[in-house]
Amino acid sequence: MSIFFVMIIKYNVQLQPHNSFRTKALARIFCEPQSAEELSEIINAFPDERKLILGAGFNLFFTKDFDGLVIKPAIKGVHILSENDRFVEIEAGAAEDWDRFVKYCVDNGYAGVENLSLIPGSVGASPVQNIGAYGTEAMDVIAKVKTVELRTGNNKAFSNEECGFGYRNSIFKRTGLYAITSVVFRLEKSFHYKEKYIDLSRELEGIPSPTLAQVRNAIISIRNRKLPDYTLLPNAGSFFGNPVLTESEKDQLQLKLPDAPIYNVGEGQFKTSAAFLIDKAGYKGKRHGMVGVYQRHSLIIVNYGTENGREITDFMHKIQQEVQQRFGIMLEPEVRIY
């Protein structure tokens, strides 16, 4: 029996509502497939078009129109695949809201994602940049990622090891070759709070054995204090990644900035803080026209009212030049720019 899909394909769609920086750009072709099968269909229908997979748009913005096919998976659903006394495996569709999924896990006593509370975005994007916060990364709990290959329209599933996870990185981000349709998480059915992040422990002070809900609430409180409300001040979270340095780059930096925070990340590599470098370059709270650095968090660039993504990239280049000239380090954007 053949199954025919009726999918709405739109042309010249405004992408401003689909990115949290609220920049304007048109997608020449746009569609929202409801299933992995529909996603394959659309890929096979437009084999020669450039393709962009869009989640909820919290980690990207546009500087120009997208001359190709924008696919925004609309695949929903959360269900338990298997469980035993200790673990539960849950599959969630790419279009599920990330924080709603975290709340579902916390409400049901499933531990592992609570530290990732209130990160805006979709489940489908969580493996792409291996989202992380408060000492936890998505890679710690992802068992499998189900995808459709953009070149062939074929299904392909990746085990955790095959995802090539790294700091804010994965095979999905590095290659851009796959549309994620769902993610399988492996979570624990019991929870004992372990300190992973000092700010969080401070927030939980006075609670002898915090529950999952108390940890989630503490994180929500910290994030609400620290981060700008994107509905009032459009932004995409941390704009730059923390630079990873070789030993000699680290030594050079310490000559210029002896108080620079340095974390040994192994294999002769060291991480420093992009926010610290931006502060030291004099950009904390600085504004040029309609774009600026958020006063309470130097890693966040905020939009005070432009609809033109190029104003954001112009400002980004100014920060990069200043940090490079002063400290010899090139900051790389974590946000995806199209």
Ligand X SMILES: Cc1cc2nc3c(=O)[nH]c(=O)nc-3n(C[C@H](O)[C@H](O)[C@H](O)COP(=O)(O)OP(=O)(O)OC[C@H]3O[C@@H](n4cnc5c(N)ncnc54)[C@H](O)[C@@H]3O)c2cc1C
Residues forming the active site: 168, 238, 334
Residues 315, 34 contacting (CB under 8 angstroms): no
Minimum distance of ligand X from residue 258's CB (angstroms) = 29
Would you say 124 or 309 has its CB closer to ligand X? Answer: 124
Burial 230-243 (b: 16+ CB within 10 A, else e): beeebbbbbbbbbb
Q: What are the angstrom distances between the C-alpha of 33 and each of 74, 100, 101, 130?
A: 6, 21, 20, 24
Would you say 178 or 191 has its CB closer to ligand X? Answer: 178
Would you say 61 or 327 has its CB closer to ligand X? Answer: 61
Binding site for ligand X (CB under 6 A): 20, 52-60, 73, 94, 119-122, 124-126, 128-129, 131-133, 172, 179-180, 227, 230, 235-237, 336
Give Cβ neighbours of residue 127 (< 8 Å, ≥ 6 apart).
138, 139, 142, 145, 163, 165, 170, 172, 180, 183
Minimum distance of ligand X from residue 170's CB (angstroms) = 10
Q: Which of 175, 172, 179 is nearest to 154 (CA)?
A: 179
Angle formed by the axes of helices 309-327 and 247-256, nearest 10°: 80
- DSSP code at position 333: B
Minimum distance of ligand X from residue 311's CB (angstroms) = 18
Would you say 179 or 278 has its CB closer to ligand X? Answer: 179
Minimum distance of ligand X from residue 292's CB (angstroms) = 15
Q: Which helix (H) or strand (E) holds 256?
A: helix 247-256
